[in-house]
Structure 1
């Protein structure tokens, strides 16, 4: 499997008008997900760590550091913490601990709110719960290679089982809904990175787990908050009132005889979201070769108490 750079449609002005006329979900994937599972994961993690610390007052920052020391020890080293699954788990942990020291309540189970797209109906596929559970566990075992190998393999197998019960091939109607489909796509990518992390721990590029490349899901149902057929004329009227640049964008959209503009724009935005999730990571060999620990103490804004 190779991740490659892919062109995006850049329909921003059209999308803005479409959502004003007939709202549909924002498909933009979480920056945490796309940044921490990338070739620049260590840099993004350092920046996120700095941003979280900078948002805390002195007492909150000391409480935050104390929680990190409790988990990782006074040395603050995280094995392979600068890359992939561990980097993502650390970013989630930073956000969670920051909310805790501010006195904000957060559930310790269920979907991680900052990571997955919010479903207006409150439904999440089983993969979302599995990924969330895995990410909450990883920081506590990151420095134990034996446990990490066992946990990585176990959650990889659980995600395979989730896919068999709820995936694009199961013909479950809800799996075709836009937000649910993107959350499932995220789980597929996360599953691939679990496999990559397993290879890192073994310090080999030999694949002992099998990940299948998956194409774009077909028959996606867009969740509109109006009747798109009735609103399509309003959308076209608003585009005509917009600037020439926006009108020129519409001429680049290819529309079949049985399609309407609103649905087409929403579909293209969905495709762009999938591209943002799966493309800008480099190739498999480059990602698997990444080996970088993360030093919490060295990157702390204040001196850690011994």
Structure 2
């Protein structure tokens, strides 16, 4: 397809320049998603918790803290709240409560804003809706082990069913599952399913010995949204690169397919390189399954509360 030797860092740098001329999608997953499924989730969650509180006025902070007390009680402890899907649900809850105390309207259904890539066509894989529903439920059952097991198993099964349901879309599947944004959201849902299974292993004290979860592999013939005229943009990009710093010029030389290029081919190549890097980011975050499953940490809401808890 082109120069596949283009390093990820060169592609990312060139993409930041190219988006000025052609606003193609940013495929990078939400930092919230990536951080909370990582092995360092508890640290990321504490930082996010304090950052959200710091953004509120004194009255808003009081209402925010009261909302957490109402949900989790005076003790403010969340079972396994520092790791994986529970950490992610808490991060989502913090953002939701913050918006509510600011007087913003927040939907209690549909894809969680900012967690998945926004699809301008309005389509999200069914897994996105299932993940969002589960994350909204978790704060209310996190301290009830039997309920957590029951619901987590149910939602894990539903995610698998959702994946199989794509096979029933017929011709529409071929269109939807070649769409760049849709595939990234599908991949994110797959990695969420990994993290959800990790969570069940933690609750049940099971090791990662027989960990397995089938994955769908992204198609090779993706349809990328260029959001621009490749012929015009390439000329503008080339002129911009020639006036830029050495770092940009070197990245362009490395990533440019070279003689006989087609402008559209170059733009698609750049999109694909950025897209491919993005879909592997959650895998890097999850890391070793055994280490991730072995990490068990409750979260103490009082410990990092900036407002009066009692």
Fold in common (TM above 0.5)? yes
Distance 1:47 1:245 in 2: 33
Distance 2:212 2:283 in 1: 18
Which of 280, 293, 302 aligns to 2:298? It is 293
> Which residue does the alignment assign to 2:54?
54
Distance 2:235 2:291 in 1: 48
> Which residue does the alignment assign to 1:105?
105
Distance 2:269 2:208 in 1: 42
Distance 2:287 2:99 in 1: 33
1:11 offset after TM fit, Å? 2.5
1:231 offset after TM fit, Å? 3.1
Residue range with higher mean Cα deviation, 41-50 or 229-238 = 229-238
Q: Is contact 2:35–2:285 with CA below 8 Å preserved after alignment?
A: no
> Which residue does the alignment assign to 2:21?
21
Q: Are residues 289 and 10 of structure 1, via their aligned partners in 2, closer, same or farther at CA, if it must alter by over 3 Å?
A: farther
Deviations 1:193-237 (A, max 9, x none): 111101011011167874124544422211121232553333333
Which of 237, 240, 243 aligns to 2:242? It is 240
> Which residue does the alignment assign to 2:194?
192
Distance 1:206 1:247 in 2: 46
Alignment of 1:77-156 (within 5 A): 77-156=77-156
TM-score by length of 1: 0.91
Q: Are residues 264 and 195 of structure 1, via their aligned partners in 2, closer, same or farther at CA, if it must alter by over 3 Å?
A: same
Deviations 1:107-144 (A, max 9, x none): 10001112011112222111111110010001110011
Which of 139, 164, 183 aligns to 1:181? It is 183
Q: Are residues 258 and 161 of structure 1, via their aligned partners in 2, closer, same or farther at CA, if it must alter by over 3 Å?
A: farther
Number of residue pairs matched? 299
Q: Any gaps of 5 or more consecutive residues in structure 2?
A: 1-6
> What secondary structure sits across from 1:222 in the alignment?
coil
Q: Is contact 1:63–1:101 with CA below 8 Å preserved after alignment?
A: yes
Residue range with higher mean Cα deviation, 20-29 or 7-16 = 7-16
1:57 offset after TM fit, Å? 1.4
Distance 1:254 1:128 in 2: 35
Q: Is contact 2:85–2:199 with CA below 8 Å preserved after alignment?
A: yes
> Which residue does the alignment assign to 1:3?
none
Distance 2:256 2:149 in 1: 48
Residue range with higher mean Cα deviation, 266-275 or 181-190 = 266-275
> Which residue does the alignment assign to 1:261?
266
Q: Are residues 286 and 217 of structure 1, via their aligned partners in 2, closer, same or farther at CA, if it must alter by over 3 Å?
A: farther
Q: Are residues 123 and 214 of structure 1, via their aligned partners in 2, closer, same or farther at CA, if it must alter by over 3 Å?
A: closer
Deviations 1:228-257 (A, max 9, x none): 255333333332332232121122226397
Q: Are residues 90 and 69 of structure 1, via their aligned partners in 2, closer, same or farther at CA, if it must alter by over 3 Å?
A: same
Alignment RMSD (CA, Å): 2.3
Distance 1:209 1:107 in 2: 35
> Which residue does the alignment assign to 1:282?
287
Deviations 1:143-184 (A, max 9, x none): 1111111111111111111111227x9743122111111111
> Which residue does the alignment assign to 1:172?
174
Q: Any gaps of 5 or more consecutive residues in structure 1?
A: 1-6
Distance 2:84 2:31 in 1: 14
Residue range with higher mean Cα deviation, 269-278 or 195-204 = 269-278
